[in-house]
Amino acid sequence: MINVVLVDDHTIVRSGFAQLLSLEEDIQVIGEFGSAKETRQNLPRLKPHICIIDISMPEESGIALLEDIPSGIHCIMLSVNDTELMIKKALELGAKGYLSKRCSPEELVQAVRTVYAGGVYLMPDLTVKLVSSKTTDSVTQLTKREREICELLIQGWDVKETVFAFIYGWFLVVCAYFCLWVISDYLLSDPVLALLFLPFALRCGISLHITKKYWVIPYFAEYSVLCLLCFSFPELSYLPAFILSAVSFPLVFIFQRYYFGSQLKCLCLQLLLIGIISAINGLGIFSGEFYFTFLVSFTGGILIIPACYLVNDFLFNTNWLPLTAALVKKPITLRTKHILIYIFLFILNIYIQTALPEAFNRFSLFYLAIPIILLAFQYGWQGALLGTLLNSIALIGTTHHFSDLEITGLLLTLSIQTITGIFLGVGIQRQRDLNYSLSVELNRNKHLTRQLINTEESIRQDISRELHDEIGQNITAIRTQASILKRIGHSETHEKLAGTIEQLSLNIYDKTKGLLNRIRPRLLDDLDLHQALQNLFIELGFENQGIATHLTWQNNQNAQLGHILEITIYRLCQESLNNIIKYSKATDVYIDIRIEDNVHIRIRDNGIGFDVKNVTSNGFGIRGMQERAGILCGTFEIISNPIEKSPHFHGTTIKVSLPRN
């Protein structure tokens, strides 16, 4: 016989489990306890085989009790909490079984028998949780590099394709590096110094924006070009270039650790890195002047590194649409407007450089700043960067004499324009992003508010249905029974009591009906909005108070209004008519509703009027109407002429316009 003790603070649950287990011939319940303290006092005396413990108990949890269970007693934990962490905790403390309170009677009996036989029992769904967690844990224990290799294998990459990708990347970087060196050498007429202008900046820009495992590609490409130059120009010493390339490695390594976050932060880090590397390059090239070498490196850095950032941002931070079946045959549409604008600005730049009279040469920088400002205003810092690149090409392409003085002026011009343009674009982009964030947040709040209205009306509908289906029906049944008792009663006392019950139930019925209409009029579910508004006049008793009502409904397009819009219109009219009944002392009320692209509502009366400023600041009803209209992006206007100021043209008019969609 298996002796079982039950520990649960709910008497009903404990008694049910005891009755269930007692039905089995080989199981008997020898004790029931409602707390951990009571269990500790009595468990050593009973010496059961199995102890079934509820985890969630008020004074002390079952987990704490589990630690004090004497050896030789097997425990099965029972709880509503079936999280993976709780299961692991119970098993670590020595529990031999874990059941959810959703378990079937058969599972409870099977758990007792399995644990008594020396096994461990878990419900199947709990076992699945633990196994899936174990699988996930084993995957997360892989190193970052191991996970990357696994991803490549899953994508179908083999060693040959990986090697080809590295070779292809090396080839592209070598070509770009060499082309930039040719342009730099053409401008500076110094092969060694030309390396510090655009090529070094390209290597820094690429290294800064790729993961460290791919750094071998730009550095190997750079050393390949340097070896080629050593072979082609043996009379020059390229040792400083090798040294400066190696020195920049730890700098880029350190900066990349902090290279994340906002665009402004990244651009400021770029500027700092360019300044440090330019200073090191200026000190490392002993054959030239420090300031000129610094200017060459600095100008090349601010031209190329932000461009690398722009390409990286476009490729990896842009939301790309997957190529679905609907997009396979969709033709590519080029935005010709933007292309034409850029071509026009480029031609304008060339024209300014070549055709501007000498008397206006001193103002050429101001003319060249116009495209940067225009592109920055239109496209942010990305447009400003494109504008500075455009100006750079135009300036270099129209420069015919390369004296040191002219080159210095050109480099200064490029540096100042690039820095000014980029940070001007950053400022514009930041303001644009802020406006966009505010717009998104505003739309989100409007969406949440609409959901709130929906939820409110849904709750109102549920309460209204519950009152109607349960309380209303029960009151009707009471009235019916009271009527029957009144008819079959043989004494005057019976008839009097039955009449009292019938009258009281009738009063409750009327109050419930009024409450139903206040919470949510069922007419909106059973009739259309037009009829529901007509019924408002009847419910509020305008005719009994001698107030003439006029409702004009114009819906020439037979447009269907959304549920939220109908509710809003009804509530606006309901609140307005309530205020008219209470305060206006009017004799005529007009409601005009015209449904076009927008829904136009006008509610007016000939009452005594009021001071709009005082009421709108203190009146919750009118404020609620304004908020309801604002939620749907509508407009709300209230005009009132007090009778004291306008004896002949007094009254109040409310004008509301709501978008239909």
Rounded to an integer, the average pLDDT of 74-91 is 80
Q: H/E/C letters for each residue in 423-451?
A: HHHHHHHHHHHHHHHHHHHHHHHHHHHHH
Give alpha helix (H) positions in 141-198.
144-154, 159-188, 191-195
pLDDT of residue 329: 60
Nearest to 239 by CA among 287, 203, 182, 181: 287
| Average model confidence (pLDDT) across the chain | 81
Distance CA(177)–CA(202), nearest Å, equals 7
Q: Which long-range contacts (CB under 8 A, 24 or more apart) does 477-482 make?
A: 478/505, 479/505, 479/506, 479/509
pLDDT confidence band for 493 (50 / 70 / 90): confident
Q: Which residues contact 361 (CB under 8 A, 6 or more apart)?
A: none
Nearest to 302 by CA among 265, 284, 277: 277
Distance CA(578)–CA(175), nearest Å, equals 80
Segment 15-59, tens digit of pLDDT: 778 887 888 889 999 999 988 889 988 888 888 999 999 887 877
Cβ atoms 367, 387 nearer than 8 A: no
Distance CA(490)–CA(501), nearest Å, equals 17
β-bridge partners, 146: none
Distance CA(223)–CA(530), nearest Å, equals 82
Segment 593-610, tens digit of pLDDT: 999 989 999 999 999 988
Residue type, 377: F
Segment 546-588, tens digit of pLDDT: 899 999 999 988 888 887 888 889 889 988 999 899 888 899 9
Distance CA(475)–CA(512), nearest Å, equals 10
Q: 72 — phi, psi (to 5°)?
A: 95, -15
Does residue 622 have a pLDDT over 90? no
One-character DSSP codes across 6-66: EE-S-HHHHHHHHHHHHTSTTEEEEEEESSHHHHHHHHHHH--SEEEEES--SSS-HHHHH
Q: 345 — phi, psi (to 5°)?
A: -65, -35
Topology (CATH level 3) of domain 528-659: Heat Shock Protein 90 (3.30.565)
pLDDT confidence band for 541 (50 / 70 / 90): confident
- SS3 (DSSP) at 158: coil
Buried b (16+ CB within 10 A) or exposed e, 371-409: bbbebbeebbbbbbbbbbbbbbebbeeeeeeeeeeebee
CB neighbours of residue 512 within 10 Å: 15
Rounded to an integer, the average pLDDT of 92-121 is 85
Does residue 506 have a pLDDT over 50? yes
Domain residue limits, the chain: 2-138, 159-316, 528-659
Cβ atoms 174, 221 nearer than 8 A: yes
**Beta strands across the sheet bearing 588-595:** 548-554, 588-595, 598-605, 651-659, 635-641
Q: Assign residue 261 a region (left: φ > 0; alpha: ψ between -120 and 50; beta: otherwise).
A: left
Segment 119-148, tens digit of pLDDT: 888 877 777 666 655 544 444 455 555 666
Q: To which residue do tokens 């300044």 refer?
A: 275
Distance CA(41)–CA(579), nearest Å, equals 69
Distance CA(523)–CA(47), nearest Å, equals 68
pLDDT of residue 497: 79
* CA-to-CA separations, 482 to 321, 506, 507, 589, in angstroms, rounded: 70, 11, 14, 43
Distance CA(285)–CA(193), nearest Å, equals 8
- Answer with the residue of higher pLDDT: 302 or 491: 302
DSSP tag of 580: I
Q: 433 — phi, psi (to 5°)?
A: -65, -40
pLDDT of residue 139: 45
Distance CA(245)–CA(226), nearest Å, equals 10
- SS3 (DSSP) at 391: helix
**Beta strands across the sheet bearing 2-7:** 27-33, 2-7, 50-54, 74-79, 97-100, 121-122
The secondary element (H helix, E strand) that includes residue 332 is: none
pLDDT of residue 226: 93
Same fold, 2-138 and 528-659: no
Q: Which residues contact 225 (CB under 8 A, 6 or more apart)?
A: 174, 177, 178, 181, 199
* CA-to-CA separations, 267 to 304, 310, 391, 427, 660, in angstroms, rounded: 12, 11, 20, 12, 45
Q: What sign has the CA pseudo-torsion 78, 82, 85, 88?
A: positive
pLDDT confidence band for 499 (50 / 70 / 90): confident
pLDDT of residue 201: 93
Distance CA(657)–CA(602), nearest Å, equals 9
Q: 557 — phi, psi (to 5°)?
A: -90, 0
Distance CA(219)–CA(211), nearest Å, equals 13
| Statement: the pTM of the whole predicted model exceeds 0.85 | no
Nearest to 53 by CA among 70, 28, 72, 35: 35
Residue type, 524: L
- SS3 (DSSP) at 489: coil
Cβ atoms 245, 219 nearer than 8 A: yes
Q: For 568-650, where are the E strands, in sequence order?
A: 588-595, 598-605, 635-641
pLDDT confidence band for 414 (50 / 70 / 90): confident
Rounded to an integer, the average pLDDT of 327-347 is 70
Q: To which residue do tokens 């980029």 refer?
A: 422
Structure tokens at 452: 């709130």
Q: 329 — phi, psi (to 5°)?
A: -95, 5
Q: Which residues contact 274 (CB under 8 A, 6 or more apart)?
A: 201, 204, 297, 298, 301, 302, 305
Structure tokens at 76: 């099965």
CB neighbours of residue 578 within 10 Å: 13
Q: Which CATH number fits domain 2-138: 2.60.40.1180, 3.40.50.1820, 3.40.50.2300, 3.50.50.60?
A: 3.40.50.2300
Does residue 373 have a pLDDT over 90? no
Query: Quick one: what percent of the chain has pLDDT higher than 90?
Result: 21
Segment 430-486, tens digit of pLDDT: 888 888 888 888 888 878 877 887 787 778 777 777 776 677 667 766 766 676 676
Does residue 592 have a pLDDT over 90? yes
